[in-house]
Amino acid sequence: MKLSEKRIITLVAAFALVFGVYPVANAMHIMEGYLPVQYCIVWGVVCLPFLVRGYFSIKKVVSQNRKSITLFAMVGAYIFIISSLKIPSVTGSCSHMTGTGLGAILFGPTAVSILGLIVLIFQAILLAHGGLTTLGANTFSMAIAGPLVSYGIYILCKKVKVNKRVGIFLAASIGDLFTYCVTSFQLAAAYPSDNGGITASFLKFLGVFAPTQIPLAIIEGILTVVIMIMLESYATSELIDIGYLKGEINNVKVK
Amino acid sequence: MSKSNKKTIIVLLLIVVVIAMVPLFTLKGAEFGGSDDAGSQAISEITGTDYQPWFTPVLETWIGGKLPAEVESLMFSLQTGLGAGVLFFFLGRYVERNKWQKKIRDKEEETYDSLN
């Protein structure tokens, strides 16, 4: 068998694995009590440095300019809205989005981790959604890994001079998708399959999460672009203060 | 906001509505739900046993049972409402601020023009 043939077979096998599994689970946070204790602790500890850095970066932005706290609150509110909307998807189950891309683009990835943590605590306590024991794992996937990817993609798009709105769209939607890849990995690490280990498990969970999440990731990307257009038109001076925009835009004098 | 931006926003929002609503109409009879026990199914399939979570959500411990679906949807709408309230309150303030700032600018330009 030629090497290229082998590659094709592997690809097809992977494809079948991903899409052959009927999606039974809803793509959401890891539920309360569904991660073994040691994993809860590990993920929680992994989150700490990011959260601490996030706290300091927020403090820095706010101390430099008190007005930017309004924008920060709006970014948090956006995560509140977006992560509360359960949307039907093509696989016949519902899921919700993360909403963390906007904050990552505006305030940097670690600042969002604090906002994400607040939303996750709110959902864990009042909505019995996600959980306090799985808070660390969920914070890592939704409030740290997702925003990091969003931020990276946004910067990359800026570097290669992709249209700004396309960049924002890609950043938000891929960050959203990546969140659920991380969730799949976290579940797979805790529940490796008997035959195939973590990889087989990972593909199974990914097969459950990814198809549901793709249309939602597109929606999240679009909504983030919409909010950004609004902010750029009305909160110009704030965006300049936090360093997102530079100088004059849209022929509006900024003072 | 410029006219082209307004148009872009309307078109984008329409696309969002279409993406969100199409599955609902095309996949007739799909459940679109089964929130909490669904995730456990995937885990059970892998471990081969019925998985029992080792911790129940604190709210469910407090009320001594499962959170009623209606109350859960209330909590979710509360979350949406809080978020939308904060976001659009400040956005509204920004919109107004832009209006009066533009007014002041126009006035200043007028006085400047009349002085010359």
Give the position of tokens 């990552």: A104
pLDDT at A80: 93
Condensed to tens digits (0 to 9), the pLDDT of residues A38-74 reads 889 999 999 999 999 999 999 998 898 888 899 999 9
**Residue A26 has what pLDDT?**
45
Q: Using one digit for the tens of pLDDT, what is the confidence trace for B81-112? A: 999 999 999 999 999 999 999 899 899 888 88
The per-residue pLDDT of chain A, averaged, comes to 85
Q: Does B46 touch chain A (CB under 8 A)?
A: yes
Query: Which of A216, A217, A210 lies closest to A18, judged by CA?
Result: A210
Which amino acid belongs to residue A223?
A: L
Q: Distance from B69 to chain A by nearest Cα, in Å?
A: 10
Is it the case that residue A250 has pLDDT exceeding 50?
A: no
Whether residues B40 and A31 touch (CB distance < 8 A) is answered with yes
- Residue B27's H or E segment, with its range, is none
How far is it, in rounded angstroms, from Cα A178 to Cα A152? 12
pLDDT at residue B96 in the model: 94
Write the residue in A28, A92, A222 that is nearest to B16 by C-beta.
Answer: A222
pLDDT tens for A92-118 read 778 888 999 999 999 999 999 999 999
Q: Going by C-beta distance under 8 Å and a sequence separation of 6 or more, which residues neighbour residue A41? A: A136
Rounded average pLDDT over B61-85: 87
pLDDT, mean over chain B: 84
Chain B residues with CB-CB distance to A222 below 8 A: 12-13, 15-16
Using the beta-carbon criterion (under 8 Å), do B72 and A127 form an inter-chain contact? Answer: yes
CB contact B48 to A (< 8 Å): yes
Class in CATH terms, A31-241: mainly alpha
Contacts with B80 from chain A: Cβ below 8 Å: 80-81, 84-85
Identity at B6, one-letter amino acid code:
K
Percent of chain A with pLDDT over 90: 49
Interface test with A, best of B54, B62, B104 (most A CBs within 10 A): B54
A241 against A178, higher pLDDT: A178
The DSSP bridge partners found for residue A149 are none
**pLDDT digits over B2-56, tens only?**
889 999 999 999 999 999 988 888 877 777 764 445 566 777 777 777 777 778 8
Question: CA-CA distances (angstroms) from residue B40 to A118, A224, A246, B51?
Answer: 25, 32, 49, 7
> Over the stretch A113-153, which tens digit does the pLDDT of each residue have?
999 999 999 988 888 888 889 999 999 999 999 999 999 99
Contacting residues of B for A238, CB less than 8 Å apart:
94
Please give the structure tokens belonging to residue A238: 């704030």
Q: Which residues contact A231 (CB under 8 A, 6 or more apart)?
A: A71, A74, A238, A239, B91
DSSP string computed for A159-221: HTT--HHHHHHHHHHHHHHHHHHHHHHHHHHHS-BTTTHHHHHHHHHHHHHHHHHHHHHHHHH
| A214 Cα to chain B: minimum distance (Å) | 11
Contact A84 B12 (CB under 8 A): no
Count Cβ atoms within 10 A of the Cβ of residue B41 and give its class: 0-12 exposed, 13-18 middle, 19 or more buried: middle
What percentage of chain A reaches a pLDDT higher than 70? 85
Spatial separation of the C-alpha atoms in residues B80 and B92, rounded to whole Å: 17
| pLDDT at position B39 | 61
Count structural domains, chain B. 1
Residue B113 lies in a domain: yes
Q: Domain coordinates of chain A in residue numbers?
A: 31-241
Q: How confident is the model at residue A3 (pLDDT cuts 50, 70, 90)?
A: low
Distance CA A18, CA A20 (A): 6
Decide: A107 and A242 in contact? Cβ < 8 Å: yes
Residue B111 lies in a domain: yes
Helix (H) or strand (E) holding B81: helix B69-115
Burial of A55 (0-12, 13-18, 19+ CB in 10 A): middle
- Top residue of B76, B102, B105 to mutate, by most chain A CBs within 10 Å, is B76
Q: What percent of chain B has pLDDT over 70?
A: 91
- CA-nearest of A142, A67, A134 to A101 is A142
Q: Is the pLDDT of residue A28 over 80?
A: no
Strand partners, A95: A87
> What pLDDT does residue A2 have?
65
Please give the ipTM for the structure prediction.
0.84
Contact B84 A122 (CB under 8 A): no
pLDDT reported for residue B8:
93
Residue A23 has pLDDT above 50, yes or no: no
How many A/B residue pairs have CB atoms within 8 Å? Answer: 184
Interchain CB distance below 8 Å, A81 and B87: yes
Q: Which residue has the higher pLDDT, A100 or A89?
A: A100
For chain A, positions 149-188, list CB contacts with chain B under 8 A: 187
- A252, β-bridge pairs: A249
Domain of residue B114, residue span = 68-116
* Residue-level pLDDT at B1: 80
Environment class of A134 (CB within 10 Å of its CB; exposed 0-12, middle 13-18, buried 19+): buried
